[in-house]
Amino acid sequence: MMFSKCSRHLLKSGKLNSYLRRFESTLVIAEHNNEKLLPITQNTLTAAKKLGGDITVLVAGSKCGSVAEQLSKASGVAKILVADSEAFLGFTPESLTPLVLATQNQLNFTHILAGATAFGKSLLPRIAAKLDVSPAIKSIARVVPYTVTTSASNAILTLKSKDPVKVVTIRGTSFEADPLEGGSVQTEAIPAGDYKTDLSQWLSQELSKSDRPELAGAKVVISGGRGLKSGDNFKMLYELADKFNGAVGASRAAVDAGFVPNELQVGQTGKIVAP
């Protein structure tokens, strides 16, 4: 009876949510290339801070110490867990899933977040399935309750999950990037485990380097479609983008026609932009 009266008092005073948030904890799965943190993780950190509670960041990779060092400057982060193993070279979901599940089983987070990129959208649904919960994909604007896009982003859906663990991918363009400053976070190495798997094998990757801003986070995007008629005509867009310090994008039709590589595709089946 005492607890019931106390709960009603907290609810009326608006303090109940604040009280409950103290018991929440969030695991943010960092996305990086083993050398630098990718910007989407900074957006995901901002979303995590809106949840309240402790924030732990998981950095999994091979020789990824510099990434943990970048994250150690973030304010509002309680701990950085580092899993350094050759098994994570290709960042395959098959190798990362056992690591995330082991971390979750040990620390019992209430939320698991990652960016709504190809990395996050391939890993987190697998994590959710293993935990027997429903994932929320491409959360925008709010994380409690979740505001997500649906029907090819033509509709916005608000969800309230009753699952014990909320597994959410964050649309980077909906949250400001965390500045990664003002903090001094301790890192903790995760003991080596057998995370190798026969389900998939990482062979190699080819990275294209550009001095232009990364497409998903660019403030200015110059985009072209099939009307340009050839890849050579995209040179005009490159020159214009350089004048504005912007990125170049393309429609699916232009990519399918072979005018430009797939990495420039913008839209539902490409990269989400918010210039």
As a whole number, mean pLDDT of residues 126-147 equals 81
In this chain, the answer to whether the domains covering 23-189 and 215-264 adopt an identical fold is yes
Question: In terms of Cα–Cα distance, which of 114, 141, 107 is closest to 24?
Answer: 107
Percent of the chain with pLDDT over 90: 62
Neighbours of 256 (CB within 10 A): 12
The string of DSSP letters for 21-41 reads HTT-EEEEE--B-SSSB-HHH
Each residue's pLDDT tens digit, 60-78: 999 999 999 999 999 999 9
Tell the residue number behind the tokens 């989407």, with chain if given. 40
| Lowest mean per-residue pLDDT among 16-25, 127-136, 144-153, 234-243 | 16-25
Each residue's pLDDT tens digit, 206-223: 767 778 888 887 889 999
If you ran DSSP here, which 8-state letter would residue 145 be given? T
Question: CA separation (Å) from 53 to 77, 96, 218?
Answer: 10, 24, 31
Residue 120 reports pLDDT greater than 70:
yes
Q: How confident is the model at residue 1 (pLDDT cuts 50, 70, 90)?
A: very low
Structure tokens at 93: 């979901």
Mean pLDDT of the chain: 86
In the chain, what is the straight-line distance between the N-terminal and C-terminal CA atoms, in Å? 54
Instruction: Please name the CATH architecture into which domain 215-264 falls.
Output: 3-Layer(aba) Sandwich (3.40)
Residue 19 reports pLDDT greater than 60:
no
Angle at 62 between CA 59 and CA 66, to 5 degrees: 60
Structure tokens at 274: 């918010």
Q: Domain coordinates of the chain in residue numbers?
A: 23-189, 215-264
Instruction: Please name the CATH architecture into which domain 23-189 falls.
Output: 3-Layer(aba) Sandwich (3.40)
Structure tokens at 71: 């994250």
The residue that leads in pLDDT, 148 or 118, is 118
As a whole number, mean pLDDT of residues 99-125 equals 95
Residue 20 reports pLDDT greater than 60:
no
